[in-house]
Amino acid sequence: NAGVTQTPKFQVLKTGQSMTLQCAQDMNHEYMSWYRQDPGMGLRLIHYSVGAGITDQGEVPNGYNVSRSTTEDFPLRLLSAAPSQTSVYFCASSYQGTIYFGEGSWLTVV
Amino acid sequence: GNSVTQMEGPVTLSEEAFLTINCTYTATGYPSLFWYVQYPGEGLQLLLKATKADDKGSNKGFEATYRKETTSFHLEKGSVQVSDSAVYFCALSRDSNYQLIWGAGTKLIIKP
């Protein structure tokens, strides 16, 4: 049972570099989302998607892009990494009231 | 707007003690309420949920009751174990797709 799979688990970037966090789910869920987790702030929604071809902004979208070409995949792109984007990133999918989280991606921007 | 407030941590208890982690919320209408747990180095797992007033969610010995009159969803456990050490998040959702509003999290430390 793979569930929600995120890669990479750990990444160090230099300021200005770009990268993509991958997220895939094998449960055929329509709804997927990306959160970031920062100390003392809980989780904040970055972007979400209600189905293939449809994405929308969450609470903190600046500096991030997403796309949803298939139901399974929902990658998050950092366009030009900044130290403020140092965080733990969680991908999630949801269905009928239950949210399934990936194991997280720890990103450090130096 | 919608918000969730949790008691600040860390909360430190001895094994077999009684646990309460307070959670209050602000929302219009009838949100669904959740408790998630995050063990060290891991992702978030749903612990329990309640979708309407007076519902009680329970799992692994933890319980929380949806109290609309006090806008609260406090997490309780009668006898904690060292393995319960984790960060606990309270959250609400008013969206059918379950976009969540999160509390800041409460770190729980259980000492043997």
pLDDT single digits (tens) A23-64: 999 999 999 999 999 987 778 999 999 999 999 999 899 999
Cβ neighbour number for residue B75 with a 10 Å cutoff: 25
Nearest-angstrom CA–CA distance, A104 and B112: 29
- Is the pLDDT at B99 greater than 80, yes or no? no
Q: Measure A16 CA to nearest chain B CA, in Å.
A: 27
Amino acid at B8: E
Q: What is the pLDDT of residue B69?
A: 94
Q: What is the pLDDT of residue A96?
A: 73
Q: What is the pLDDT of residue B96?
A: 59
Percent of chain B scored above 70 by pLDDT? 96
Choose among A87, A98, A74: nearest CA to B100.
A98
- Strand locations in chain B (E): 3-6, 11-14, 19-21, 23-26, 32-38, 44-50, 56-59, 62-65, 75-77, 86-93, 100-102, 106-111
Is residue B34 within 8 Å of B79, Cβ to Cβ? no
Q: How confident is the model at residue B55 (pLDDT cuts 50, 70, 90)?
A: very high
Q: What is the pLDDT of residue A99?
A: 83
Nearest-angstrom CA–CA distance, A84 and A87: 8
Nearest residue on chain B to A32, alpha-carbon basis: B97
Q: Residues 6 or more apart from A75 whose CB is under 8 A from it?
A: A20, A21, A22, A23, A66, A67
Place of tokens 């890669």: A7
Q: What is the pLDDT of residue B90?
A: 95
CA distances from B70 to B25, B54, B88 (A): 9, 11, 20
CB contact under 8 A, A41 and B104: yes
Q: What is the pLDDT of residue B19?
A: 97
Q: What angle do CA A17, A18, A19 make, to 5 degrees?
A: 130
CA distances from A6 to A76, A100, B72 (A): 10, 12, 33
Choose among B112, B102, B58, B43: nearest CA to B81.
B112
Average of per-residue pLDDT values in chain B: 91
Q: Measure A87 CA to nearest chain B CA, in Å.
A: 13
Q: Sort out which chain A residues have CB atoms less than 8 A from B39's CB and list them.
A: none
Nearest-angstrom CA–CA distance, B78 and B91: 22
Q: Sort out which chain A residues have CB atoms less than 8 A from B99's CB and list them.
A: 33, 45, 48, 58
**What kind and span of H or E run contains A66?**
strand A64-66
Q: Tokens standing for A52?
A: 């293939």
